[in-house]
Chain A
């Protein structure tokens, strides 16, 4: 069970890892998340990762870069990664910052991402 105080939680459903990022995430939290996630993808042989950022209201270049990194790391570990639930304001900010996460897959919501993963036999 993940402690409540953490700003990000990783849940495992079937072969998919769900990452929920909360709004008050700090730079340290997000670096810890990067480590935890890579470990768990390997340990649980996950084929799909869904990162839900619906709660995220503010992004900066750091968060943007970490999001891109999370996708790249998961892909290297053979897990297809979706970033879902991005808010319009966040999308506009990221584009403004020139970080349009070219390597990441995106979906409208968790269920959209799960549907895509299922269609590919990854969930």
Chain B
């Protein structure tokens, strides 16, 4: 008599739930992914039993010989349990590979128990084992995906924060603004920089803006293009742009790349740029007394 793999697994979990749980726990210990330094025995066991129970629950409503669609409704509880456990464990510093091993450690004990139960019917044993293997693999993949999604979210958030922090327009003097650029200047940031700068020009009625690239790590043709476009937009608004912080090395690179700045004013340092800006808006800096030299 052949029994469907789902029924067989379901029966195993119903009749020997604690046995499977203990064996899973033991395998994790043996493989070194149990992390007793981070989780008490009780907490770990609760996590495992949550997962197993959600799994047993889903087995009542699904046929595991079918392809596993982890995003289907029937797995919703298991997904929730997996996400929660992954979150708790990663927050305490469990590595991604450990989390995967944590899940995969369920395979071996279940295989062993199945082969005891089904020693008389090797065909059924093989079917159950292979189906079960697929399901556990799907869980492990889900954990990985969860990891990547979490990480992407963090990266996205940090990117947004960096974007906000990294384009501050500062008023240096009446009608003189500066925007110190730091890091890398990709298209998205260049757009942000330009928008911020142009809006600030309107806000402050600025006539001169100093775009300082001292902190820009690499100046290639694309970055140069972004800078020149910003300068062009500034000019269209009726203000003048000075690009400062052009180191000797950057100057050489720009010429080698064939970048032509046209009529855009450039200065090696922000100090030189500021002096030029003062000159254009009609101010000058003078020493108040000669004795302090």
Hey, which bits of chain A sit against chain B, CB under 8 A?
82-88, 90-92, 94-95, 100-101, 106-109, 112-113
Contacts and interface: CB of A to CB of B under 8 A. Distances in A.
B202 interface: yes
Given A94-B233, A108-B239, 4 more contacts: A86-B236, A88-B201, A91-B237, A95-B232
Nearest to B202: A88
B199 A88 contact: yes
A35 B54 CA distance: 79
Interface residues of B, number: 18
A88 B238 contact: no
A112 B232 contact: no
A108 B238 contact: yes
A71 to B, nearest CB: 12
B198 A91 contact: yes
Contact of B237 (A82, A88, A113): A88
A92 B205 contact: no
Contacts of A109: 205, 238
Contacts of A101: 236
A51 to B, nearest CB: 12
Contacts of A113: 238
A112 B238 contact: yes
A106 B198 contact: no
A103 B194 CA distance: 22
A91 B198 CA distance: 8
Interface string B191-202: 000110011011
Contacts of A90: 236
A86 to B, nearest CB: 5
A106 B234 CA distance: 10
B239 A88 contact: no
Question: Which of B199, B234, B235, B237 has the largest number of chain A CB atoms within 10 A?
Answer: B237
Contact of A106 (B202, B205, B238): B238
Contacts of B237: 86, 88, 91, 106, 108
B198 A88 contact: yes
A92 B198 contact: yes
A92 B238 contact: no
B131 interface: no
A92 B235 contact: no
A94 B238 contact: no
B229 interface: yes
A103 B201 CA distance: 22
A106 B199 contact: no
B233 A95 contact: yes
Contacts of B239: 108
Contacts of B235: 100, 106
B276 interface: no
23 contacts: A82-B238, A83-B238, A84-B238, A88-B195, A88-B199, A88-B202, A88-B237, A90-B236, A91-B233, A92-B194, A92-B195, A94-B233, A95-B232, A100-B232, A100-B235, A106-B237, A107-B238, A108-B201, A108-B205, A108-B206, A108-B238, A108-B239, A112-B207
B5 to A, nearest CB: 60
Interface in B29-61: none
Contacts of A86: 236-238
A94 B236 contact: yes
Contacts of A94: 233, 236
A87 B202 CA distance: 8
Interface in B221-271: 229, 232-239
Contacts of A88: 195, 198-199, 201-202, 233, 237
